Amino acid sequence: MTDYQTSPLHRVRQRAVRAHYDRETVHAILDEALVAHVAFVAEGGPVSMPMFHARDGESVLVHGSRTSRFMRVLSAGVPLCLTVTLVDGLVLARSAFHHSMNYRSVMVHGIATSVSDDEKPRAMNLFTERVKAGRSTEARPANAQELKATQVLRIPLVEVAAKVRDGGPSDDEEDMRLAVWAGVIPVEQRLGEPVPWDAVSPA
Amino acid sequence: MTDYQTSPLHRVRQRAVRAHYDRETVHAILDEALVAHVAFVAEGGPVSMPMFHARDGESVLVHGSRTSRFMRVLSAGVPLCLTVTLVDGLVLARSAFHHSMNYRSVMVHGIATSVSDDEKPRAMNLFTERVKAGRSTEARPANAQELKATQVLRIPLVEVAAKVRDGGPSDDEEDMRLAVWAGVIPVEQRLGEPVPWDAVSPA
């Protein structure tokens, strides 16, 4: 697979040594993240909207209620930026200045297009499968009314960049002998034991 | 403490029942989140930039290299939106449509102002303390050159809204008897065992 041919405008400029453009790295980060932040300009200025996303090959899908403000704005074809960020560790250096964070992030610039009614059932399954593998064959599928109420948007993976920091602190040479603990506190996101919910919906 | 008097333009409209405007809820979410996504408009269109943030009373601070593109744009006083999102659970309903996520998010709209050189040492300590409580008294403090290289921006907590979903799935009444497991898979972020880093900086 060839790398993403991201244009100079959307390539990583700050600390470009941390940039990655290969599909494997980008896909893995998108597939692990449970939330994406989508930036676009609405009537009140720029917005960074948290959204659940699902990757469909070489595009990313987001969805929402057809009546929501942000779906109306995004489906009109405005420029957007979808970012996912996984925090992997807190990096403690001997100097305050070199404290940092280990992370993996992906930024996608583009314009979303609406997923057609014909494609929508399959697209909806991709979201359900992200919640739990196999789940789309267990739960009652969306009916016509539910499909109609939902808007699914597709953002192509063309203008894409990943940025990754890992490893330990990068202290200055003259600080290496300071009697200060230095290292990494790992940060991990994990799933807990499933909690059944047998109650009827609260009134 | 009075609630935030967020203007109608920036109040939660979609599922407004999940909105919170009290300072305690907003502060707790901001203080727990390890990453914020800041939306603003740059030369290439809207950007959603992951940034480390620290709350300073009734404002949020972000920082970066003075030479970075996004710091140059943000310090010029453009409208921005800072969002933090904590994922608390995957919500599995009996119907695919009602699958959801438990989360706590805060959205701040505003314009950033630069923190003055006099204020900067204290502001920098707030970031270091977020990495680990007490850390600002352990690590070597930033020197004049490091302070100069760092830009700290302050965003006031005025146009603020929190949005919280918790609890189980909200299935339709007619789906309640379906033989499909329903409940919540908790998602938690936790810190691991600190890993010391005694190696000298890699070449």
Helix boundaries (H) for A141-186:
144-149
Identify which of A143, A66, A119, A192 has the alpha carbon closest to the alpha carbon of residue B98: A143
Give the whole-angstrom CA distance, residue B55 versus residue A47. Answer: 20
Q: Are A110 and A158 in contact (CB under 8 A)?
A: yes
Tokens of A124: 């909806």
Of A14, A92, A188, the CB nearest to B132: A92
Locate the domains of chain A by residue range. 11-166
ipTM above 0.90, yes or no: yes
Q: Are B163 and B26 in contact (CB under 8 A)?
A: no
Residues near B69 by beta carbon (within 8 Å), at least 6 away in sequence: A13, A14, B42
Query: Considering all CA atoms of chain B, what is the largest pairwise distance in Å, rounded to the nearest integer?
Result: 67
Check the CA dihedral A60-A65-A66-A67 and report its sign.
negative
What residue ranges in chain A does DSSP mark as E strands? 19-20, 36-42, 45-51, 53-56, 59-65, 79-92, 100-111, 113-114, 150-156, 159-165, 183-191, 195-196
Question: CA of A32: how far to CAs of A91, A191, B86, B191, in Å?
Answer: 21, 12, 15, 18
Tokens of A97: 């200045």
What is the model's pLDDT at position A119? 96
Identify which of A190, A191, A187, A192 has the alpha carbon closest to the alpha carbon of residue A87: A187
Give the whole-angstrom CA distance, residue A120 versus residue A132. Answer: 19
What is the mean predicted confidence (pLDDT) over B61-84?
95
A76 touches chain B (CB under 8 A): no
Tokens of B196: 């010391």
Tokens of A108: 């996608």
A90 touches chain B (CB under 8 A): yes
What is the model's pLDDT at position A14? 87
Interchain pair A82, B48: CB under 8 A: yes
What is the model's pLDDT at position B44? 81
A134 touches chain B (CB under 8 A): no
Q: What are phi and psi of B11, to 5 degrees?
A: -80, 160
Check the CA dihedral B26-B31-B32-B37 and report its sign.
positive
Q: What are phi and psi of B88, to 5 degrees?
A: -110, -20
Interchain pair B107, A150: CB under 8 A: no
Q: Are B198 and A202 in contact (CB under 8 A)?
A: no
Average pLDDT of chain B?
95
B9 touches chain A (CB under 8 A): yes
User: Tokens 């405008």 appear where?
Assistant: A9
DSSP string covering B130-191 = HHSTTGGGTSBPP-HHHHHHEEEEEEESSEEEEEEE-SS----GGGTTSS---EEEEEEEEE
Q: Quick one: B8-165 is in which CATH superfamily?
A: Electron Transport, Fmn-binding Protein; Chain A (2.30.110.10)
- Chain A contacts of B85, Cβ < 8 Å? 35, 37, 50
What is the model's pLDDT at position A198? 77
Q: Which CATH architecture has domain A11-166?
A: Roll (2.30)
Which band of pLDDT confidence, cut at 50, 70 and 90, is reported for residue B199? low
Alpha carbon of B14: minimum distance to chain A alpha carbons (Å): 6
B19 touches chain A (CB under 8 A): no
Q: pLDDT digit of tens for each residue in chain A (203 aa)?
A: 899 999 999 999 888 899 999 999 999 999 999 999 999 999 889 999 999 999 999 999 999 999 998 999 999 999 999 999 999 999 999 999 999 999 999 999 999 999 999 999 999 999 999 999 999 999 999 999 999 999 999 999 999 999 999 999 999 999 999 999 999 999 999 999 999 997 654 44
What is the model's pLDDT at position B202? 45
pTM of the predicted protein model: 0.96
